[in-house]
Amino acid sequence: MSIQYQGLVTHGLASQIADKIKQAILDGALKVDERLPTEEELAQRFAVSRPTIREALKRLAAQHLIRSRRGPTGGTFVNQPTQAETRLMMANATALLVSMGELSLGDIAETRQEIESLCCRLAATRRTDAQLAVMAEEIKRQRDPTLSDQDFCASDVRFHCTLIASAHNPALELAAAGVIESLQPAVNLMIFRFRDRAQVANQHDTLYQALVARDAQGAMSALTHYMDVLTTQYQAAQEASETPKKPRKIKPVTAQAPRHE
Amino acid sequence: MSIQYQGLVTHGLASQIADKIKQAILDGALKVDERLPTEEELAQRFAVSRPTIREALKRLAAQHLIRSRRGPTGGTFVNQPTQAETRLMMANATALLVSMGELSLGDIAETRQEIESLCCRLAATRRTDAQLAVMAEEIKRQRDPTLSDQDFCASDVRFHCTLIASAHNPALELAAAGVIESLQPAVNLMIFRFRDRAQVANQHDTLYQALVARDAQGAMSALTHYMDVLTTQYQAAQEASETPKKPRKIKPVTAQAPRHE
DNA sequence: ATTTCCTATTTGTCTGACAAATGTTACTTT
DNA sequence: AAAGTAACATTTGTCAGACAAATAGGAAAT
């Protein structure tokens, strides 16, 4: 006798209301930038109190589905989700999984290599001159000995993001966001420990030259070498750190989500 | 003169408190399944009222970072993020971007093909017999003429999820989740319109046979054909629908996130 | 010893109110 | 008459207090 319990109030009023509004947005009943009723009106319409409505709205705000403003022309509006926001969300979620030990850095490294590799293949034919210029600029910067370690790491991130952007596929950028960002703390750790900047810059240069020549194979090969060095150095760093008990002490620095509501 | 506004009250008390708690979780100050203070205690500690604390907690609950239970042994606990949950979040976020027109189905199709293709390569060496058995089972089911359209689509999803799982890389599964799920409604549309089941099942079979033989190239080639047919049929379906004004009327059906708090 | 009931604790929801922000409107001044 | 300014109305943000619902532990009765 399998009884259906799903219709009951298993999840709290606020949750149910949040779901209803979310569904309305997804179904298109509420369009982007459309203002939904005031909290009082919503409370009356759902036959609950204003705090309950507010909790529902806060849940949606946490997912960046709505934004709120005070004042006569204020209210709650449907938010247009941007790719940048979604990327950040995915990066945060992935970083959380890593810090909880649900994802191994090895798996992430492999995924990053595979995805960046196919980005190389696509970028070899699709890259624009402007993107090549950005890469060249970053390589030049990475060879500046006066650059701080922190700025060097930032430059490394920008280089790889430009590589992925050169594939000209937003969906691919989205899929790659998580693995790029959540591997970066480990990359930073290595660079801080060994300061092997010249090697990194040279491999970036090799990759860049291959893209200039539209040489997909060359670019993929350069990337493979880059990732190999990274993996090797990371393992060395881990062994050298002499704390094998806590292999994932790397703390994600990428939180800092831009707030706007 | 770039002035730092970050220290001011630009974002509301609840937001700030939510961020503080989130940071505490990410920093490891709050461990998984650890119970944090009661709402009253938190209210006192942050010097705000209980509703404000509640709003902050709701924001975190919306991100599945915490769960709450009533009762003496109840309270608010740090949630262990699971890969399945994170996958669902990413799939929802991607579906939202698609429904808002921020991501084209073409881009997603390309990304899905590329990622599934490399899954084929990895799966050719890593697939287990159990996973092969699941695939064979799904193919067999897909050839059952009494299967409903809905069940057929579900079987298609399961087949591709098994393919990705056969790569044995959780990070890759995560990256693929968004593009798989958000393309599925379009796939469903095609299957519903043309009922071209036999062709789909045969291509699945070809892919399956290649994986049995550990033939990476064969698997990738089969997948390419599958995606080509899909793309062609989708374009045909779109032209046949005679409503070129609204090219993205496909509604994501994948919401239905499991609730548990 | 087991079952049942009571109770304490904690979150969920409600009511009511005030504070802060912000666009509008009316008024005053030049 | 035009422009600046002040008051106002509207809406979200926050607060205070209270009760309801759920739940686990203990007490009491069989």
Structure tokens at B237: 């379906």
Strand B66-69 relative to strand A75-78, pairing: unpaired
pLDDT grade for B193, boundaries at 50, 70 and 90: low
SS3 of B6, please? Answer: coil
Chain B residue with CA closest to A31: the answer is B100
Residue identified by tokens 């770039």 is: B2
Among residues B95, B25, B97, the alpha carbon closest in space to that of B67 is found at B25
Q: Looking at residue B191, what is its pLDDT? A: 63
B211 to chain A, minimum CA–CA distance in Å? 19
Pick the CATH number of A13-78 from 1.10.10.10, 2.40.40.20, 3.30.420.10, 3.30.200.20: 1.10.10.10
CB B203 within 8 A of CB B142: no
Please provide the average confidence, as pLDDT, over all residues in chain A.
Answer: 84
Domain locations in chain A as residue ranges: 13-78, 83-240
What is the secondary structure of B75-100 as a DSSP string?
Answer: EEEE----HHHHHHHHHHHHHHHHHT
A68 CA, D1 C1': Å apart: 39
Instruction: Decide if B176 and A175 are in contact by the 8 Å CB cutoff.
Output: yes
Asked if B110 lies within 8 A of A22 by C-beta distance, the reply is no
DSSP code at position B209: H
B5 CB-near residues (< 8 Å, 6+ apart): none
The b/e string for A216-227 (b: 16+ C-beta within 10 A; e otherwise) is bebbbbbbeebb
Q: Residue B205: CB partners within 8 Å, gap ≥ 6?
A: B139
Q: Say whether pLDDT at B1 is over 60.
A: no
CA nearest A206: which of A135, A256, A261? Answer: A135
- Residues of B whose CB is below 8 A from A110: 169, 171-172
Once rounded to an integer, what is the mean pLDDT over residues A235-249? 56
Task: Give the residue with greater pLDDT, B74 vs B58.
Answer: B58
Mean pLDDT, chain B, rounded, equals 84
Model confidence at B86: pLDDT above 60: yes
Give A-chain residues touching B179 at CB under 8 angstroms: 171, 175
Minimum distance, in Å, between the CA of residue B248 and any CA atom of chain A: 11
| A26/B99 touch (CB, cutoff 8 Å), yes or no | yes
- Asked whether residue A87 carries a pLDDT value surpassing 80, the answer given is yes
Phi, psi of B151 (to 5 degrees): -65, -35
- Please report, rounded to a whole number, the percentage of residues in chain B having pLDDT higher than 90: 51
Contact A103 B96 (CB under 8 A): no
Query: How does pLDDT run across B154-177, given as a tens digit for each residue?
Result: 898 899 999 999 999 999 999 999
Digit-coded pLDDT (tens) for B212-243: 999 999 999 999 998 888 888 777 766 666 55
- Is pLDDT at B258 greater than 80 in this prediction? no
Of these ranges, A122-131, A141-150, B96-105, B234-243, the one predicted with the greatest mean pLDDT is A122-131
* Residues of B whose CB is below 8 A from A84: none
Q: Could you tell me the pLDDT band of residue B71, with boundaries at 50, 70 and 90?
A: confident
Q: Which residue has the higher pLDDT, A3 or B55?
A: B55
B126 touches chain A (CB under 8 A): no
DSSP structural state of residue B29 = S
The whole-number Å distance from B146's CA to C7's C1' is 58
**pTM check: above 0.85:** no
pLDDT tens digits, one per residue of A166-178: 999 999 999 999 8
pLDDT at A188: 74
Distance B251 CA to C12 C1' (A): 33
Fold exhibited by the domain B83-240: Four Helix Bundle (Hemerythrin (Met), subunit A) (1.20.120)
pLDDT at B72: 87
CA A74 – CA A261 distance, rounded (Å): 11
- What tokens appear for A180 in the block? 């790029």
At A237, the pLDDT band (50, 70, 90 cuts) reads low
Name the pLDDT band for B149 (thresholds 50, 70, 90): confident
Mean pLDDT of A29-35: 91
User: In this predicted model, which residue has the larger pLDDT, B5 or B124?
Assistant: B124
* Tens-digit pLDDT profile for residues A90-109: 998 998 898 888 998 889 98
Interface test with A, best of B53, B110, B111, B118 (most A CBs within 10 A): B111
Structure confidence at residue B175 (pLDDT):
94
Q: What's the CA A54/C1' C25 distance, rounded, in angstroms?
A: 30
